[in-house]
Amino acid sequence: MGRCKKNRFIQRAPHFHGFTTRGLKWKHDTDVFLNYEEYEAINLCDYELLTQEEAARMMKVSRPTFTRIYESARRKIAKAFIEGHDVRFIGGNVEIISWYKCDTCKISFTLQKDSPMACPLCKNELITESH
Ligand SMILES: [Zn+2]
């Protein structure tokens, strides 16, 4: 089966590697792998409380594609939650959108991969990456 190589856009990667279960006498040795786009789908819909329509736009994917990612994420989390699996975050076809702040005019902005590292407004190169 061909795999879609198209990048999805995410605002941030998870700042930790996953979850471990607690208090299990017998532990599954099979981890559940949640990729970054699935993590972002949960972030956008269930944490930031965007609609699926808005979330799809943020990740630059079609609405049906978003729904597929989101449902896959929910199923994996439910499986881990109910059966007691560790969850590990792994990459995926994602491009992480970094936010920058101009030191001069204080605006926040994102940059495309190939664009110059400078403020789009005043062209100043004194910019700081913000998280
Ligand atoms: Zn500026």
- Per-residue confidence in pLDDT tens, the chain, 131 aa: 445 556 788 877 788 899 999 988 877 678 999 999 999 999 999 999 999 999 999 898 999 999 999 999 999 999 999 999 999 999 877 877 778 889 999 888 887 767 788 998 899 999 988 76
Are 48 and 60 in a shared domain?
Answer: yes
Q: Is residue 125 part of a domain?
A: yes
Are 70 and 125 in a shared domain?
Answer: no
Output the CA torsion 71→75→76→82 (10° steps): 150
Q: Is residue 37 part of a domain?
A: yes
Distance 126 CA to ligand 1 centre (A): 8
Distance 115 CA to ligand 1 centre (A): 15
β 18-19/87-90 pair status? antiparallel
Count of structural domains within the chain: 2
Are 66 and 114 in a shared domain?
Answer: no
- Rounded Cα–Cα distance for residues 121 and 106 (Å): 10
Structure tokens of 42?
A: 């949960």
Are 80 and 109 in a shared domain?
Answer: no
| Cα angle 104, 107, 108; round to 5 | 125
Query: What is the domain-level CATH number for residue 65?
Result: 1.10.10.10
Are 90 and 114 in a shared domain?
Answer: no
Are 89 and 115 in a shared domain?
Answer: no
Q: Is residue 67 part of a domain?
A: yes
- Rounded Cα–Cα distance for residues 33 and 76 (Å): 8
Distance 98 CA to ligand 1 centre (A): 16
Distance 99 CA to ligand 1 centre (A): 13
What residue numbers bound the domain in which 82 lies? 31-95
